[in-house]
Amino acid sequence: MPLILQECVEEDADQIAEVLYAAFAEDVWGRIMFPQRPPPDVDTPTKRHYRRLISSEPSVFLVKAVDTETHQMVGVARWELNLKTKSDAEWDAKMAREWDEGTNTTATDFLIASVVEKDREFMGATPHLLGLGLLYVHPDHQRKGAGRMLAEWGLDMADKKAIPCWLQATPQGAGLYRKLGFEDVGNMDIDMSNFGGKGVYRYVCMIRPTKDS
Ligand SMILES: CC(C)(COP(=O)(O)OP(=O)(O)OC[C@H]1O[C@@H](n2cnc3c(N)ncnc32)[C@H](O)[C@@H]1OP(=O)(O)O)[C@@H](O)C(=O)NCCC(=O)NCCS
């Protein structure tokens, strides 16, 4: 299964959404937020969101890992270059998302607000920074190197620009990022009982310092 990386184009939006749903289908928090998966042939707010990011957000880089034998998209990373301090309106705009039918909007809005608050705490003060917003690999293709390739794409960019990287890792992602030089700098805990689940879901806040620092 040789893999290549390519920047996404607008026509990839449907596949990006399908791989997203598949990747988080077994995640406990993903199951709460997305109890139902929209039918693949429906044009959803998530697909429109990705089309907009690809067509009109030059600071956002959506990269896909493609299996060269099947031409299937197996994973996606969303990197964002933060070269200037965002205004309050720009931070608020990050929280205003329209969700697909069947989404638990209370849970999902809560997560986005919590993630944006942490992004703001860390990235707001350090505008020259590359943020990894999302990284996911289809379950049929995990543990075969796609996640590492997609992460290294952004790390190469960060090294060329001599800037640090920032992310909030799911429990599944944290191990990979530690291997790639990210350091734990905090946590974001979600009490799952507030959303009909059990226990605490911990996101790990991580920074990979500038290589020369
Ligand atoms: C996390 C995820 C992206 C990893 O992708 P992947 O393609 O399976 O990862 P890779 O095969 O490239 O693995 C890269 C390295 O990370 C390690 N790794 C991968 N998954 C891991 C896990 N769950 N726990 C610990 N280490 C892990 C691998 O052992 C590998 O190490 P090596 O290169 O030294 O052998 C994938 O499991 C996923 O999509 N999970 C669901 C969505 C998610 O939680 N994404 C993270 C959002 S922050």
pLDDT per residue as tens digits for the range 92-116: 988 888 999 999 999 999 999 999 9
List, in order, residues 6 or more apart from 30 with CB less than 8 Å away: 24
Average pLDDT over residues 75-93: 92
By CB atoms closer than 10 A (0-12, 13-18, 19+), residue 26 is: exposed
Q: Is position 91 within any domain?
A: yes
Token pair recorded at residue 43: 């044009």
Q: Indicate which atom in ligand 1 lies nearest the CA of residue 148.
A: 12
| CA of residue 124 relative to chain centroid, distance | 18
Which among 70, 100, 80, 95 is positioned nearest to 3, based on CA atoms? 70
Whether residue 70 is contained in a domain is answered as: yes
Instruction: Give the dihedral sign, CA 48/6/173/85.
Output: negative
pLDDT at site 98 = 93
182 Cα to the center of ligand 1, angstroms: 14
Is the CB of residue 166 below 6 angstroms from any atom belonging to ligand 1?
no
Domain region containing 146: 3-208
> 111 and 28 in contact (C-beta within 8 Å)?
no
With respect to residue 47, please indicate whether it lies within any of the assigned structural domains.
yes
pLDDT surpassing 80 at residue 212: no
Q: Is 175 in the pocket of ligand 1 (CB under 6 A)?
A: yes
Q: Determine whether the shortest distance from the Cβ of 118 to ligand 1 is under 6 A.
A: no
Could you read off the pLDDT of 164-199 as tens digits, one per residue? 999 999 999 999 999 999 999 999 999 999 999 999
Q: CATH number for the domain including 113?
A: 3.40.630.30
Interval 75-85 mean pLDDT: 93
Tens digit of pLDDT for each residue in 106-162? 999 999 999 999 999 988 888 788 999 999 999 999 999 999 999 999 999 999 999
111 vs 115: CA distance, rounded Å: 6
Q: Could you tell which of 176, 184, 188, 205 is best to mutate to test the pocket of ligand 1, judged by most ligand atoms within 8 Å of the CB?
A: 176
Number of domains in the chain: 1
Q: Is 213 inside any structural domain?
A: no
* Within a domain: 136: yes
Q: Calculate how far, in angstroms, residue 195's C-alpha sits from the geometric centre of ligand 1.
A: 26
Ligand 1 contact, 132 CB (< 6 A): no
Query: Which are the contacts of 150, defined by CB distance < 8 A and separation ≥ 6?
Result: 5, 63, 65, 75, 76, 77, 135, 137
Assigned domain for 127 exists? yes
> How far does residue 50's CA lie from ligand 1's centre (Å)?
23
| pTM of the model as a whole | 0.94
Give yes or no for residue 179 CB within 6 A of ligand 1.
yes
The tokens of 34 are what? 């997305």
Q: Which residue has the tokens 């605490």?
A: 200
Q: Does 142 map to a domain? A: yes
